[in-house]
Amino acid sequence: MGRWPAAPVSSFGGPANAPMQSKLDAAEFQSQSSPYRRLWLLLAGLPALAPPLLILRYGVDFHFLDEWMPDMGGLFIKAHLHQLTLGDILAQHNEHRPSIARVIALLINPMTHWNNFDNQMAAWLMVVVTSLLVWLLIRQTQSGARAIFLWFLCNLLIFTPLQDENWLWGMGLENFSPALFVLATFLVARSRMPIWTRLVLCLPLATLATISSGNGILAWPLAGFLLVWPQSNERFSEKKWVALAWLMICAAVVPAYRYGYQIPVHHGNPYPKTVSSMLIYALTYMGSAFVYPRDVTGQTLGMVLGGLMCLGIVAATVYFLLLLKTGQRDLCGRMLPWLLLAAYAMISGIIAAFYRAGFGLEQAVSSRYVTFSIYLPIALINLIPMIGDQVRSSAAPGCSRRWNLAVVATTTLLILLQVYGFAGGIGESAARQRFYRLGKGAMLLINIVPDNPYVKFLGVPRPARLVETVNALNQMGYLHPPLIASSDAALIEQDNGNVSGATDLSAADPAGLIQVRGWAVYPKLGRSTDSVFLTYLDAAGHPIIFAAAKMGLGRPDLAGKLPASELPDCGWEADLDLGRIPPDTRTITLQAWVLDVDTGRATPLPGLIAISR
């Protein structure tokens, strides 16, 4: 990990009461390393490139689940009709009031027309700013010689692909925003500005955190404690009026946030919510930053790692209290923001457990929650070297060497876990891309084939309301490509030479349904297609869309004809109810078409099926 000098740093990042040699070491690092400092900073920031690469490779211009709700996607319709109110911006959504995400989306959507790639990049830029705030906090609390390396370790977590759900989902804006405002409040609270200036700046930041996501409300107790904490040259009595003002504003904002608040009812919770289940859920949630795969083994690993990290924070808190008792306020002042950041992650887990424990541990390790749980290991990354400096300064040489070995081993393990997580996140991103593309195919056909088996992939429990919302947004130009408006497939036909496939089997079942099967791939892209629909020829010879196929079926019988990687999911299958076809059509001619979900155009597959009534 490099050399970790034992010199303590003041509350604002400068050396305080340090031996002369330590001061020289820091100065030497600043002067001799200056030509390379930008290079090291650039290398430390390299993990930030992972999310945009992930978005460009696996992103889909498709909206999912909460985004179709009346209080999210429905807001754009209200804005378009000039019916939007402040109450709509502040409205409750599940456990939260995600006003910040709503405002950002409303600001950029007139330019982007709800393009999901733009929403994802906006979320990434928000996380880049959050990473820079972490860097500033490291600079305030750590010695210069190791600050860049610690930032690199933090960035491995901040930009981990294991957050793929938030990177590839428009709701990531909501989940990324609270940490940004909590960290900004911490930095202002610790700054050199006059105390009343800090108070005036912290109040709006804490308010913004509150209306970013549910756990943003933690900015009030955590940042308030940091704001009134006496620095090395201060006394609490000098800040009592600041503390009183903070409490008074908090007493006004928090009840306002709770006004009209209703405990959300999550239907379908399969498990009973007990104290023990909430505890296990919270611990698993806290270890989710390192969990892959997300099966029972991963959930157990998450619970163990979450428990170990919580014990680490408890040990650090006890050590903090011992230092405080012995009057080492400078080191306590540097440890405090990281202890509070750990509290932000841990209390977030407890809040999630209170509302969501009934969904079981599979949801506790959900990718979206990694965004919050990463701040527990980030806090430990910064606390361990601080405590290590203090321990080594008073320990025997043998103990110091053992400590160094333990730190190197822990750092190596952290990096290996993140490398493993990068690979896992990429695999999950590929699966999520497939899921979204199937859902997008169903969305494009929603007015033609409303019973498409993949309508459920849009994630909305009430399809009737979904159809209304989808059509309204489509008329506003917010869907790319627009919905397919006619059942005449000839209107969207294209000759796509990048499609290979066939219709190769048909059979009648006892219920009178006709089962049609085939396969379709994009050979140049090396993957299966995303949507197949079926047509029949009407009396005028037009191909009329009337059914959609199930996708992703294995076709081992094509071994030798297709690459092995395409065989597990290149097949499609449809059960056709001929009752949907006009009864005067005596000879039914069926054909399968591949729908390109990126363009809304379709290509007919070889193989016609003729059925006589």
Amino acid 593 reads: W
Nearest-5° angle of CA 492, CA 56, CA 51? 150
Residue 611 is inside which H or E element, if any?
Answer: strand 609-612
Neighbours of 102 (CB within 10 A): 24
pLDDT at 8 exceeding the cut of 60: no
- pTM for the structure as a whole: 0.87
By the 10 Å C-beta count (0-12 exposed, 13-18 middle, 19+ buried), 1 is classed as middle
The number of angstroms, rounded, from the C-alpha of 163 to the middle of its chain's C-alpha atoms is 5
Q: How far apart are CA 10 and CA 231, in angstroms?
A: 9
Q: Could you tell me if 384 and 325 are in contact, meaning their C-beta atoms sit under 8 angstroms apart? A: no
pLDDT confidence of residue 599: 93
Within 13 Å and on the Cβ side, how many CA atoms surround 104? 24
pLDDT confidence of residue 1: 37
Question: Of 159, 273, 158, 258, which Cα lies nearest the Cα of 214?
Answer: 258
Report residue 600 as tokens: 């809304």
pLDDT digits (tens, 9 = 90+) for 486-508: 999 999 998 877 899 999 877 76
- Secondary structure of residue 58 in the 3-state scheme: helix
pLDDT digits (tens, 9 = 90+) for 366-389: 899 999 999 999 999 999 988 888
For the segment 555-575, the average pLDDT, to the nearest whole number, is 88
Q: Which of 93-102, 244-253, 293-302, 312-321 shows the lowest mean pLDDT across its residues?
A: 293-302
For the segment 387-395, the average pLDDT, to the nearest whole number, is 79
pLDDT confidence of residue 462: 65
Q: Across the chain, what does the average pLDDT equal?
A: 86
Q: Could you tell me if 586 and 592 are in contact, meaning their C-beta atoms sit under 8 angstroms apart? A: no
pLDDT at 329 exceeding the cut of 60: yes
Neighbours of 334 (CB within 10 A): 24
pLDDT confidence of residue 12: 34
pLDDT confidence of residue 6: 36
pLDDT at 29 exceeding the cut of 70: no
pLDDT at 97 exceeding the cut of 70: yes
pLDDT digits (tens, 9 = 90+) for 104-144: 999 998 899 999 999 999 999 999 999 999 999 999 998 77
Q: How far apart are CA 265 and CA 94, in angstroms?
A: 8
Residue 333 backbone dihedrals phi, psi, to 5 degrees: -65, -30
Q: How confident is the model at residue 473 (pLDDT cuts 50, 70, 90)?
A: very high
For the segment 508-526, the average pLDDT, to the nearest whole number, is 82
Neighbours of 404 (CB within 10 A): 15
pLDDT confidence of residue 271: 65
pLDDT confidence of residue 567: 84
Concatenated DSSP letters of 528-590:
E-S-EEEEEE-TTS-EEEEEE-EEEE--GGGBTTB-GGGTTT-EEEEEE-GGGS-TT--EEEE
pLDDT confidence of residue 452: 86
Q: Could you tell me if 308 and 316 are in contact, meaning their C-beta atoms sit under 8 angstroms apart? A: no
Residue 207 is inside which H or E element, if any?
Answer: helix 195-210
The residues facing 522 across adjacent strands are 527
Sequence-separated (6 or more) residues with CB below 8 Å from residue 311: none
Q: How far is CA 427 from CA 164, 244, 566, in A?
A: 10, 51, 16
Q: How confident is the model at residue 35 (pLDDT cuts 50, 70, 90)?
A: low
pLDDT at 20 exceeding the cut of 80: no
Neighbours of 452 (CB within 10 A): 24
Q: Could you tell me if 40 and 33 are in contact, meaning their C-beta atoms sit under 8 angstroms apart? A: yes
pLDDT confidence of residue 9: 39
| High-pLDDT (> 90) share of the chain, % | 51
pLDDT digits (tens, 9 = 90+) for 307-316: 999 999 999 9
Q: How confident is the model at residue 551 (pLDDT cuts 50, 70, 90)?
A: very high
Q: How confident is the model at residue 422 (pLDDT cuts 50, 70, 90)?
A: confident
For the segment 457-479, the average pLDDT, to the nearest whole number, is 84
Question: Of 74, 94, 294, which Cα lies nearest the Cα of 174?
Answer: 94
By the 10 Å C-beta count (0-12 exposed, 13-18 middle, 19+ buried), 183 is classed as buried
Question: Of 229, 48, 230, 18, which Cα lies nearest the Cα of 144?
Answer: 18
Q: How confident is the model at residue 145 (pLDDT cuts 50, 70, 90)?
A: confident
Crossing angle, helix 172-189 and helix 195-210, to 10 degrees?
170
Residue 591 is inside which H or E element, if any?
Answer: strand 587-596
pLDDT at 13 exceeding the cut of 50: no
pLDDT confidence of residue 377: 94
Output the furthest CA–CA distance in the chain (Å, rounded): 98
Q: Could you tell me if 43 and 153 are in contact, meaning their C-beta atoms sit under 8 angstroms apart? A: no
- Secondary structure of residue 484 in the 3-state scheme: coil
Nearest-5° angle of CA 560, CA 563, CA 566? 120
For the segment 353-358, the average pLDDT, to the nearest whole number, is 85
Q: How far is CA 539 from CA 584, 590, 606, 608, in A?
A: 9, 13, 21, 17
Write down all domains in the chain, each with its CATH number in brackets.
20-260+270-433 (no CATH), 489-612 (2.60.40)
- Secondary structure of residue 82 in the 3-state scheme: coil
Higher pLDDT, 274 or 461: 274
pLDDT confidence of residue 104: 93
Residue 20 is inside which H or E element, if any?
Answer: helix 20-32
Q: How far apart are CA 251 and CA 255, in angstroms?
A: 7
Q: How confident is the model at residue 164 (pLDDT cuts 50, 70, 90)?
A: very high
pLDDT at 580 exceeding the cut of 60: yes
pLDDT confidence of residue 21: 36
Report residue 233 as tokens: 């040259």
